[in-house]
Amino acid sequence: MKITFSVNEMPQSIEIDDENTPLLWVIRDMLDLKGTKFGCGKAACGACTLHVDGEAVRSCSYPAKLVEGKKVTTIEGLGSEEHPHPVQQAWVEEVVPQCGYCQPGFMMATAALLDKIPEPTDNDIDQNIINVCRCATYYRMRKAIHRAAVIKKNTTQPVNSESDG
Amino acid sequence: MTLLVAGGTLMTISASRSKVSDYSSIASASKAISEDTPFNKMMQVLTHERCVNCHPTDNIPKQGNDSHPHYFGMMRGEENLGFAATKCTTCHQTENNAYSGVPGAPHWSLAPKSMGWQGLNKYEIAEAMLDKTKNGNRSHSELIHHLTQDSLVLWAFEPGVDQEGIPREKPPISEAAYKAAVLAWFENGAVVPEE
């Protein structure tokens, strides 16, 4: 089966025998984007979270055939080293990761949350960020999510240039 | 070894319960006749976990044959679709996923709060189903369509496999028998029997 879609704004076209192959393995093994992690394979831990048409999905439980014509964003496309996404910037500032394995999934889930709820409360975070971190970095992640909301708010508001001051 | 012993014990108990006395066989025959009505056939499906798990009265979807609360704190949300960023469709797609064991069907969601069935008996469920103030203002013909054509309702008969790859339990009667029972019940006036 041929599947055409985009990943991080780059067009992709793949040939795949099993159309139900989890999108996770298309991303990791066929497109060699290793930022999206395999955790449980049962849509339980969230390590494989990425965005499909702007919505967070667990890619281990998302058949490749459903991505036809859609836009996928992975952690590699969220931001760059030079221009990190507010979530990535906040994660660095709050020194969130310990082992780091699950963090891309958390960051993708958080980016989706901030798109829907720009200034999430602790309750919003509890409801929407339900990934699993075996290092238990939840406390630092909560701080980073609030920090990311502030960074995003400040960077998306109209900027008064320094010359105006 | 302990498990084997325990399993053996359970099997023994089960075998002893399967013995039927002359008296209980009469009772069973009566029950068999009563269960054969279109209403009872239909309700055998609608009271099954595959249906009731997504008709909660406490805003928490249920899972499994033990109807345990959905893992990860998932709840109804404002539109029966989960929360703003983590929705039902974050994990549940339009069809069952045999790799992950995550069930799926088109428009996967909870039934509206007004259609909460958890804890109700079959008579109360039927009354609620017919009540236009609870059923989304559906007429009988619209209810028939929903009960016999809606892909999420009919998912109960194709529930896929669980996380261990084990097929989920289906309702006790076939899809064809269920649809026939629904049609027969409505054709006969959709009368809810007295308890």
Beta bridge partners of B62: B69
Check if the beta carbon of residue A61 is closer than 8 Å to that of residue A42.
yes
Of B168, B140, B187, B167, give the one whose Cα is nearest residue B38.
B187
CA distance B93 to A65: 11
What per-residue string of b and e applies to A44-78 under the rule 16 or more CB within 10 Å gives b?
bbbbbbbbbeebbbbbbbbbbebbeebebbbbbbb
Check if the beta carbon of residue B181 is closer than 8 Å to that of residue B173.
yes
Which pLDDT belongs to residue B195? Answer: 83
pLDDT tens-digit readout, B161-187: 999 999 999 999 999 999 999 999 999
Q: Which of B71, B94, B100 sits opposite A60 (nearest CB)?
A: B100
B76 to chain A, closest Cα gap in Å: 11
Residues of A in contact with B87 (CB under 8 A): 55
Instruction: Write down the CATH number for the domain with range A79-158.
Output: 1.10.150.120
A148 touches chain B (CB under 8 A): no
pLDDT tens-digit readout, B75-107: 999 999 999 999 999 999 999 999 999 999 999
CA distance B7 to B174: 30
Question: What ipTM was predicted for this assembly?
Answer: 0.92
Domain definitions of chain A by residue range:
2-77, 79-158
Task: Give the pTM.
Answer: 0.86
Q: Does B98 sit within 8 Å of A62, measured CB to CB? A: no
Let me know if the fold of A2-77 is the same as that of A79-158. Answer: no
CATH architecture of A2-77: Roll (3.10)
Beta bridge partners of A73: A51
